[in-house]
Amino acid sequence: MAAPVREPLTVVRGDLSHQLRATWVVCRRELLRFGKDKARMLTMLLQPLLFIFVMGTGLGSIVDTGGGTDFRTFLFPGVLATSVLFTAAFSGISLVWDREFGFLREMMVAPISRSSIIWGKCLGGAIVATGQSLILLALIGTVGIPYSPVLLVQLVGCLFLGSLLLTALGVLLSTRIKTIQAAMPISQMLIMPMMFLSGSLFPVSGLPDWLAVLTKLNPLTYVVQPMRHLVLEQLSLTDVERERLLPVITWFGWSVPVGVQLIAVGAITLALVALAARTFRTVE
Amino acid sequence: MPNTVREPAISVGGLTKSYGRGDQLIEAVKGIDLSVEAGQTYGFLGPNGAGKSTTIEMLCTIRNPTSGSARVAGYDVVEERDEVRRRIGLVFQQQTLDQQLTAQQNLRFHADLYGLARGDADRRIDEVLDMVALSDRRGDEVQKFSGGMKRRLEIARGLVHSPQVLFLDEPTIGLDPQTRRAIWDYLHDLRRRTEITVFVTTHYMDEAEHCDRIAIMDNGEIVVEDTPEALKSSVGTDRIALRTDDDELTIGRLRERLGIEAAMHEGQVTLAVAEGAQVVPRLFTELDTVIQSVTVTRPSLDDVFMAYTGRTIRDSEGPQSMAAVFAGRR
Ligand SMILES: Nc1ncnc2c1ncn2[C@@H]1O[C@H](COP(=O)(O)OP(=O)(O)OP(=O)(O)O)[C@@H](O)[C@H]1O
Ligand SMILES: [Mg+2]
């Protein structure tokens, strides 16, 4: 039989360190679960590959980039961003499954804050999504971009920031969605428009006004554009190409620098997490 | 807290909970009061929809009460939520394990969430796995476990952080009799070795016998609360059945010497008394007849439930009613 229980146990004190540890364990659980799901890891890679090598090659022959740039080179950063879109958003929405299978309760009754749970979910989802995109990133040479360490690190940074935002969006949705049946269609309804309205698959230059507005409202746009800048700046573009492939994004006439776009992504993420924590508190 | 008079582990005053509003208003808990001493095992009995889970959820800080107050382990469940949470262990009516993780990983996750130091966590995980006899399955994914094993693991998990109060919502529902017994064995063992207070809800009347005190809840109210013994005495008499060498003589002497009327029933001398345990010794000293066997039958908790709610617990649970079986009992 077990030895008598000795009380009290040494509990790690300091609320912040406890909350951070809670965030880390929730995050680690995401990684553990993803690690067990090899099939998901592979299927998630199929779609981006089709986009780049099948659609990119097919359309490449009719799309005029305005210079010598391969259409697939243009497409590559956009597809990288969409690949994290799927994985990250689903990681966030998996909170609906956690609720359905009861595990959410185990987390909710622990002496930790809701924000710790949400941050853990978000970090876990972001690490998983970014990790997965590294496989795609390894193929960057096949579309004519040099393997520059600085570029790769910058791209990974953007992908991580983007994944964090998308997981947070998934988590926010899942605080509202109560059933698994509803989760799938609702997430499709979110993911598809986000993918098409981000300029990931076509340039946002010369779009009709309504489409341009929707694109600017889509946070994914601000993940795609900076990455595309980073990638295309490796090449020497003609002026026509620069105008077509790297259009300037403006807010009320102000052309938004790439750095500000990334800051916006971070700010939106913080807002989404705060909102999710609040709905969580009032709804559960 | 330590050297003063001990505060009850759980104290509840005027606790209510309503769901919905307007026409849809459901008063799930209608103003209950109760107090559970530290170290006791307290049973909460009631049919489906009585409000047991709702009560437990309020005590565990998952739901806010509509009105009233509750203190658990010395802290207010609304005002000092995290303090309560650190000191309680929970086993819910529904499963709350991560099926894709191993038993060990589930326990580790719990230890981390409750902020246990590394060394303590390892030691406690070993202890609780040992206690529920799952040590050899610790590396298996939970989805490969049977229902009973999952339940045992959940109980183990609820104990990892050495709570002062353990809440169990129907821990044995749907389990086979052996597993049910095993689970009660763990709980008894736990109580022998620690000061833990156990608050448990159940449908099974026989399990209430394991508790120090029980409350019967019906329709959101506590209809009666006492020790199982006192409740049983309150609803009826004990029955003594005797096998003797000379039944006629025994019946005669029972009347003359003890003033008790007895009759033959199923081939035995049968008598009804308030306290069987007090009468039996007198039978041997005062009757002067040869007694071969004595059987004392006490009223069951089913009888208690029947007396206070007007139906058996199974009656209130719809189609698979076993009422007939119980009706013929006494
Ligand atoms: N989330 C909820 N929303 C609305 N009504 C609820 C909710 N949870 C419980 N109820 C209602 O409250 C009442 C008490 O339910 P509760 O789950 O506390 O009963 P119980 O005694 O645990 O029953 P059981 O033995 O079936 O577990 C029931 O009438 C139930 O329909
Ligand atoms: Mg219940």
- pLDDT given at position A153: 96
Q: Is A251 on the interface with B (CB under 8 A)?
A: no
Mean pLDDT in residue range B54-71: 94
Write the pLDDT tens digit of every residue in B4-37: 557 899 999 999 999 988 888 999 999 999 999 9
In a domain, A13, yes or no: no
In a domain, A107, yes or no: yes
Write down the mean pLDDT value for chain B.
Answer: 87
Q: Do B96 and A106 touch (CB under 8 A)?
A: yes
A51 contacts A16 by C-beta, under 8 angstroms: no
- pLDDT given at position B151: 93
Atom number in ligand 1 closest to CA B54: 18
- Taking the alpha carbons at both ends of chain A, their separation in whole angstroms is 39
- pLDDT given at position A239: 83
Does pLDDT of B41 surpass 90? yes
CATH 3.40.50.300 residue ranges of chain B are 10-232
CATH 3.30.70 residue ranges of chain B are 233-323
- pLDDT given at position B328: 33
Cα distance between residue B284 and residue B254, in whole Å: 11
Is the model more confident about B59 or about A67? B59
Residue among B23, B27, B53 whose CB has most ligand 1 atoms within 8 A, to mutate = B53
Does pLDDT of A284 surpass 80? no
In a domain, A89, yes or no: yes
Other C-beta atoms within 10 Å of A164: how many? 28
Count of structural domains, chain A: 1
Rama region for B266: left / alpha / beta (φ>0; ψ in -120 to 50; rest) = left
Cα distance between residue B88 and residue B73, in whole Å: 8
B10-232 maps to CATH 1.50.10.20: no
Backbone angles phi, psi at A153, to 5 degrees: -65, -45
Cα distance between residue B269 and residue B273, in whole Å: 13
Cα distance between residue A222 and residue A263, in whole Å: 9
- pLDDT given at position A214: 92
In a domain, A11, yes or no: no
Across the beta sheet with B291-297, the strand order is: B262-265, B268-273, B238-244, B291-297
Provide the chain A residues 25-54 that lie in CB contact (below 8 A) with chain B: 25, 29, 32-33, 36
* DSSP per-residue string spanning A188-218: HHHHHHHHHTTTSSS--TT--HHHHHHHHH-
Is the model more confident about B101 or about B327? B101
Cα distance between residue A265 and residue A223, in whole Å: 7
Enclosing domain of residue A240? 21-51+66-283
Q: Is B60 on the interface with A (CB under 8 A)?
A: yes
Ligand nearest to the CA of B215: 1
ipTM over 0.90: no
Point out the least confidently predicted range of B47-56, B92-101, B197-206, B305-314. B305-314
Other C-beta atoms within 10 Å of B221: how many? 15
A112 contacts A81 by C-beta, under 8 angstroms: no
Does pLDDT of B325 surpass 50? no
Cβ–ligand 1 distance for B93 under 6 Å, the answer: yes
Confidence of residue B197 (pLDDT cuts 50, 70, 90): very high
Closest CA to B158 of B114, B102, B202: B114
* Residues in chain B, overall count: 330
Confidence of residue B48 (pLDDT cuts 50, 70, 90): confident
Confidence of residue B97 (pLDDT cuts 50, 70, 90): very high
Strands (E), A121-277: 250-251, 254-255
In a domain, A31, yes or no: yes
In a domain, A275, yes or no: yes
Write down the mean pLDDT value for chain A.
Answer: 88
Question: Would you state the structure tokens that stand for residue B304, as one six-digit string?
Answer: 């208690």
Cα distance between residue B129 and residue B155, in whole Å: 10
Give the chain B residue nearest A13 (alpha carbons): B115
Ligand nearest to the CA of B47: 1
Closest CA to A67 of A237, A204, A231: A237
- pLDDT given at position A63: 82
Q: Do B85 and A10 touch (CB under 8 A)?
A: no
A90 contacts A132 by C-beta, under 8 angstroms: no
Say whether A275 sits in a helix, a strand or coil: helix
Strands B165-169 and B88-91: parallel
Cα distance between residue A163 and residue A161, in whole Å: 5
Query: Please, what's the largest Cα pairwise distance for chain A?
Result: 79
Strands (E), chain B: 10-19, 26-36, 41-45, 67-72, 75-76, 88-91, 165-169, 197-202, 213-218, 221-226, 238-244, 262-265, 268-273, 291-297
CB contact set of B102 (below 8 Å; sequence gap of 6+): B138, B139, B140, B141, B142
Write the pLDDT tens digit of every residue in A33-44: 888 877 877 788
In a domain, A15, yes or no: no
Cβ–ligand 1 distance for B19 under 6 Å, the answer: yes
Confidence of residue B313 (pLDDT cuts 50, 70, 90): low
Write the pLDDT tens digit of every residue in B220-274: 999 999 998 888 888 777 888 889 888 888 889 889 888 888 888 778 888 888 8
Instruction: Give B27-31's long-range contacts (Cβ < 8 A, gap of 24+).
Output: B27/B220, B28/B54, B28/B220, B29/B54, B29/B55, B29/B58, B29/B65, B29/B220, B30/B219, B30/B220, B30/B221, B31/B67, B31/B68, B31/B221
Looking at 3.30.750, 3.40.50, 3.30.70, 2.60.120, the CATH number of the domain B233-323 comes to 3.30.70
In a domain, A4, yes or no: no
Count contacts between A and B (CB, < 8 Å).
Answer: 99
B contact test, residue of A103, A104, A108 with most B CBs within 10 A: A103
Question: Would you state the structure tokens that stand for residue A157, as one six-digit string?
Answer: 């940074």
